[in-house]
Amino acid sequence: MKAQAQDHYQVTVATFDKYAKQYQDKYLEFAPYTQTYDSLLNYLTEHSRLLDISCGPGNISRYLVAKEPRLTVFGIDLAPQMIALAKNVPSGHIEVAAGLADVGNGVSQFVAMVEQLSP
């Protein structure tokens, strides 16, 4: 059973790796979610730290930092190609890491967490 679960994990990561650029292009505009993210920003204070779980190519992180430049976003994703794209986000306030990243002092350092499943 554990081997089968590991196989599904590897297939999932490989699939997101293979289609990372297409995923980025397709979901770059995520209008159905912008109202939710804008509402979240209303609850954050300046210089807040936010954890973007399964950050993918950094689309959500990019949006949030563009709206609130003093926000720091830490993105994690299992797919290395998604992380490679997220690292190209033009901002000094977005950090990304591959895999199940060590988030330092744990989730207590973040004031909020976001995660978006593909529609």
Q: Which two tokens stand for residue 116?
A: 């978006």
Q: Indicate whether 118 pLDDT > 60.
A: no
What distances in angstroms separate CA 5 from CA 2, 8, 90, one per listed residue? Answer: 5, 5, 36
| CB burial readout 56-70, b (16+ within 10 A) else e | bbbbbbbbbbeebee
Q: What 3-state DSSP class applies to 88?
A: coil
Residue pLDDT, tens place only, 70-99: 888 888 888 999 989 988 876 666 777 776
19-43 pLDDT, tens digit per residue, is 999 988 887 777 777 888 899 999 8
- How high is the pLDDT of residue 15? 92
Structure-token pair, residue 41: 């920003």
Give the chain's domains with CATH numbers: 8-114 (3.40.50.150)
